[in-house]
């Protein structure tokens, strides 16, 4: 089983920052789609600027494009009735991945969520990142935000587009097969499961191996990282471990929900001890009890090793990106949906793009350094050790609950 992606040359990669820029790029691509569109997202919230994406999907279906949309049953339990009707009338085929049912998340197997954010058009162009279809200035739990979320995606042309297309198509047909079984349509179910196991007969040229030049894109070596519960159980974690182990000068990781396991912690500590500058940009605003508090018990050992920790306060940090040795001969960067916590690395379906290109790495490095310098606060070891007892108690409770959750799923981290 291969744990690292094959990085192929000739990809055109565009770094996209923020939901609005992402939505505009998506809409432009959707309006040019001619045969098929596949989209997967954790959250599809039809509020504010996100509506433009729904309207573009509707337009594509109305002109005869086959549009398949998958949303997650926790992130998007259902679509609003109006859009349910509009999508059905237009011919948008949409499915909810793993609906919660009566007992909801009380069943540990339902903690395995569809968390990746992918879109592919006509087998030529793909998007991958951490950005949900959710207005940057709005949060379903917190209302209007003073500043937009900090998040990234990439737009890609090249050989890995075929991989994106195939993995999305396989999931679609597996979901179709399960749907047919539940409806006792067994011949249709058999056909769907057969389709889910087939490789799609596209060539590299069909997948956009030589796309027209575009000023906003860089020609780069890139590959696709996946995490699922079958063939790619640890691919993303192993790729991080390999890149951290190979870093010689600098590591920057920006992660919304960061709770590294023993191997990741040791890799970061060893990097700092051998002289690599390690900077972490983490969530500084309270969003969810577990994710906010569970990470803080591991701050101490990282700070003691010389790892720099910065908490982002300008708005909600939602990025899941990293860049290493941006100014040197072997740069490495990744943009995707995977947090470095047990929910992402052990349970959820995730997707990241890895890019080995100095120009791309330098651009991402610039954006992360700016956020660290101007929109975050450094966590200082003396302040950390003197935090109030009630905060330490909450941190320990959250950390214990996370360990209990892992025990219930049968996973070790």
So where are the chain's domains?
8-196, 224-409
Please indicate whether residue 28 or residue 6 has the higher confidence score (pLDDT): 28
Count of alpha carbons within 13 Å of 128, Cβ hemisphere only?
29
- 206 falls in which pLDDT band (50, 70, 90)? very low
pLDDT for position 290: 87
Residues with a catalytic annotation lie at: 115, 117, 122, 318, 320, 325
Assign domain 224-409 to a CATH class: alpha beta
Report the chain's mean pLDDT, rounded to a whole number: 90
- pLDDT above 70 as % of the chain: 89
Asked if the domains 8-196 and 224-409 are classified in one and the same CATH topology, the answer is yes
Query: Does the domain made of 8-196 have the CATH classification 3.10.350.10?
Result: no
C-alpha angle 295/297/300, rounded to 5°? 110
Q: pLDDT tens digits, residue range 303-325?
A: 999 999 999 999 999 999 999 99
- 183 falls in which pLDDT band (50, 70, 90)? low
pTM of this structure: 0.90
Positive or negative, the Cα torsion across 58, 62, 65, 68? positive
Residues 6+ away with beta carbon under 8 Å from 186: 180
- Mean pLDDT over 15-35 rounds to 98
- 176 falls in which pLDDT band (50, 70, 90)? confident
Is a pLDDT exceeding 80 seen at residue 374? Answer: yes
- Mean pLDDT over 235-240 rounds to 96
Helix (H, G, I), strand (E, B) or coil at 277: strand
């Amino acid at each position: 089983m291969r744990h690292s992606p094959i990085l192929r040359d000739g990809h055109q990669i565009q770094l996209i920052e923020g939901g609005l820029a992402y939505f505009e790029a998506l809409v432009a691509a959707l309006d040019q789609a001619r045969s098929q569109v596949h989209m997967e997202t954790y959250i599809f919230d039809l509020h504010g600027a996100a509506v433009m994406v729904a309207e573009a999907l509707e337009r594509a279906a109305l002109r005869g494009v086959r549009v398949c949309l998958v949303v997650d049953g926790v992130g998007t339990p259902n679509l609003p009735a109006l859009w349910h009707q509009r999508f059905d009338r237009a011919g948008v085929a949409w499915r909810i991945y793993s609906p919660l049912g009566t007992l909801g998340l009380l069943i540990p197997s339902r903690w395995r969520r569809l968390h990746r954010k992918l879109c592919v058009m006509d087998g030529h162009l793909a998007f991958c990142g951490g950005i949900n279809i959710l207005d940057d200035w709005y949060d379903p739990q917190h209302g209007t935000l003073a500043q937009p979320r900090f998040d990234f995606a990439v737009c890609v042309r090249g050989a890995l587009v075929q991989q994106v297309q195939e993995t999305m198509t396989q999931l679609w047909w597996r979901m179709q097969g399960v749907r047919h079984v539940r409806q006792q349509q067994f011949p249709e179910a058999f056909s769907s499961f057969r389709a889910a196991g087939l490789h799609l007969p596209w060539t590299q040229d069909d997948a956009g191996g030589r796309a027209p030049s575009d000023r906003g894109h860089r020609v780069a070596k890139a590959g696709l990282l996946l995490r699922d519960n079958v063939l790619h159980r640890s691919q993303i974690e192993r790729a991080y471990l390999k890149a951290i182990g190979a870093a010689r000068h600098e590591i920057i990781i920006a992660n919304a929900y960061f709770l590294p396991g023993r191997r990741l912690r040791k890799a970061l500590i060893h990097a700092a001890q051998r002289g690599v500058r390690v900077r972490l940009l983490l969530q500084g605003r309270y969003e969810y009890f577990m994710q906010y508090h569970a990470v803080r018990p591991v701050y101490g050992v990282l700070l003691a090793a010389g790892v720099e920790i910065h908490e982002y306060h300008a708005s909600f940090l939602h990025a899941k990106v990293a860049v290493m040795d941006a100014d040197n001969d072997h740069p490495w960067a990744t943009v995707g949906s995977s947090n470095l916590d047990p929910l992402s690395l052990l349970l959820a379906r995730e997707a990241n793009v890895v890019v080995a290109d100095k120009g791309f790495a330098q651009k991402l490095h610039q954006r992360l350094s700016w956020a660290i310098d101007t929109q975050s606060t450094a966590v200082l070891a003396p302040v950390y050790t003197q935090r109030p007892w009630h905060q330490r108690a909450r941190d320990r409770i959250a950390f214990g609950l996370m360990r209990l959750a892992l025990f219930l799923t049968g996973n070790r981290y």
